[in-house]
Structure 1
């Protein structure tokens, strides 16, 4: 039974060590099961996997490419435990940084006790997560964390032409990140681009912004700091907003849940504008081909243009 619920379908099953099994059962990691990886877009798209499935996927990739690197394997399990409800949806909009909370939770008694039991230290895991590694990728090289995100998001959205486990056979991973041949690298770039065109689309940006605004209004109405919400789950946030004493917050969450088709987003400002959206930066990492990130190649001019075209300003209308 443990095999069943500590699994995900995209990659081959890997053998867990005792410490990994215990870490996956901590309250901090289990909480990820109740946080949408794709943010508030979870409410309006078929991309509904959680941070927990993503974490399992990243751990599997770490095991697949670096079976003897136990620091990396542990870091893969703990790398996302600091995420707020709905993951990135409210983080930037409300002025938080999930990396800060990740370090805080790794230092908690629950996790510190498990690490020390097996001869590991919180400081070494935090230091690993703060440095460039195969998990994050060096410089402009795609790492294991984002590799899983692009595989998983596009698979769930129905855009992946190949099963991720089949693509793995064409990949390797060095200390800098993912290495592959040109054809496979171009396929991965297409997944990266399609994923960005989806989650940076005007409507999904608006969904994230509206959710953040609803939380802000509720916090203001209740006189409670936003930091009170960081350890909640997505369901708790939805329940909180639907029961809010802020009528505006209630209307916004009802809009997201039941009438998302009524959200209007344009590129021009008017007196009816309620909220402003802005995409300032886009993804720059890619797999290594012949020692260089393929996105830097002249063959990727069209991909770079598609990504840069996403840097826009939008306005949500009432």
Structure 2
């Protein structure tokens, strides 16, 4: 960087010393280890992996996995500014993600948590950590929930990772009416080990609305159709030995599309997905049913997240049962579908 040339506040390269997330607007003074990690290939790669996966084909959910990662760092820095280890864990919590993020999770036995743990203990991440006096094993333990922290939290309770996901997705989908910075000021950490997001009744309603909006997105045509196609294309690549599962795991989104375009077994449908997604027909139905005569296939969502905030440090079901009921209603959403191409 030349002297006198300004680095923008939202730079993801760790060059300016301070990062300001555009969503939360929390200034984060980057520690040397954080700046160094942002210059490693596993972190840089996340700039080229979409957080929303294949649903970016049909929605405006176009932000990257690195943007989310830095948002989580901003939240950790806001609540636990002096917790050096937790801040590093926030930066590294998603380095194992596959291309298209959760879209391809489980394909070829791939799991982003396991892949992330491997990267954490390998070059170039491990040397950076050790050079700054941080044991990779200590970071891995935090990411594994030992001990409980607000980054990973308790099952069923809202943690900082999911908070950023819901808010960032809600903003992209036009579902976030509240000012995120003002919203953040009304949040606290509560529960066991102060590992869950806690707030007042009114703000909890805003958070529950974001959780519900995310669930509706995941069960929508815009997510189910593209994700189901991308998964079957990836399986076709692996079945045809076009590339190994390990190689697939380290691709960026653009590299994956390039491989799909180069393979004769996937080229046509890959282009259909990107340029004619309107031809997808999605209906709720048994995912395990036999193939349709018109070439349809079954698809089942892996899970629907229903993370609940605490209200005044108390469980949502006790403090605001009507809000807890709204989250419970998400269990009624269809999670099995039939998908086909029209015509």
Q: TM-score range by the shorter chain?
A: over 0.9
1:258 corresponds to:
275
**d(CA) in 2 for partners of 1:156 and 1:162?**
13
Alignment gaps of 5+ in structure 2: 1-6, 13-18
1:267 paired to 2:284: yes
Q: Is the CA contact (8 Å cut-off) linking 1:193 and 1:306 kept in structure 2?
A: no
1:288 paired to 2:307: no
For residue 53 of structure 1, give the secondary structure of its aligned residue in structure 2.
helix
Residues 13 and 70 (structure 1), Cα distance of their counterparts in 2 relative to 1, 3 Å cut: same
For residue 296 of structure 2, give the secondary structure of its aligned residue in structure 1.
strand
Q: 1:189 aligns with which of 199, 208, 216?
A: 208
Q: Which moved more, 1:158-167 or 1:59-68?
A: 158-167
1:163 corresponds to:
179
2:46 corresponds to:
32
Q: Which moved more, 1:257-266 or 1:168-177?
A: 168-177
For residue 292 of structure 1, give the secondary structure of its aligned residue in structure 2.
coil
1:80 paired to 2:97: no
User: What does 1:145-224 align with in structure 2 at a 5 Å threshold?
Assistant: 145-174=161-190, 175-224=194-243
Q: Deviations over 1:1-42 (max 9, x none)?
A: 164413431122211111111111111101000000001111
2:135 corresponds to:
121
For residue 183 of structure 1, give the secondary structure of its aligned residue in structure 2.
helix
For the aligned residue pairs, the C-alpha RMSD in angstroms reads: 1.8
Residues 295 and 95 (structure 1), Cα distance of their counterparts in 2 relative to 1, 3 Å cut: farther
2:58 corresponds to:
44
**d(CA) in 2 for partners of 1:279 and 1:234?**
21
Q: Is the CA contact (8 Å cut-off) linking 2:104 and 2:231 kept in structure 1?
A: yes
Q: What is the TM-score of this pair, normalised by structure 2?
A: 0.87
**d(CA) in 2 for partners of 1:221 and 1:138?**
40
**d(CA) in 1 for partners of 2:212 and 2:108?**
26
Q: Is the CA contact (8 Å cut-off) linking 2:108 and 2:238 kept in structure 1?
A: no
1:279 corresponds to:
301
Residues 37 and 70 (structure 1), Cα distance of their counterparts in 2 relative to 1, 3 Å cut: same
1:98 paired to 2:112: yes
**d(CA) in 2 for partners of 1:4 and 1:143?**
23
1:239 paired to 2:258: yes
Q: Is the CA contact (8 Å cut-off) linking 2:93 and 2:116 kept in structure 1?
A: yes
Residues 279 and 211 (structure 1), Cα distance of their counterparts in 2 relative to 1, 3 Å cut: closer
Residues 125 and 214 (structure 1), Cα distance of their counterparts in 2 relative to 1, 3 Å cut: same
**d(CA) in 2 for partners of 1:9 and 1:312?**
33
Q: What is the TM-score of this pair, normalised by structure 1?
A: 0.94
Q: Which moved more, 1:43-52 or 1:194-203?
A: 194-203
1:300 corresponds to:
323
Q: Is the CA contact (8 Å cut-off) linking 2:10 and 2:22 kept in structure 1?
A: no
Shift of 1:92: 3.1
Q: Which moved more, 1:30-39 or 1:87-96?
A: 87-96
Decide which structure has greater helix share.
1
**d(CA) in 2 for partners of 1:139 and 1:208?**
25
Q: Deviations over 1:249-285 (max 9, x none)?
A: 1122111110010001112464335221123643232
Alignment gaps of 5+ in structure 1: none
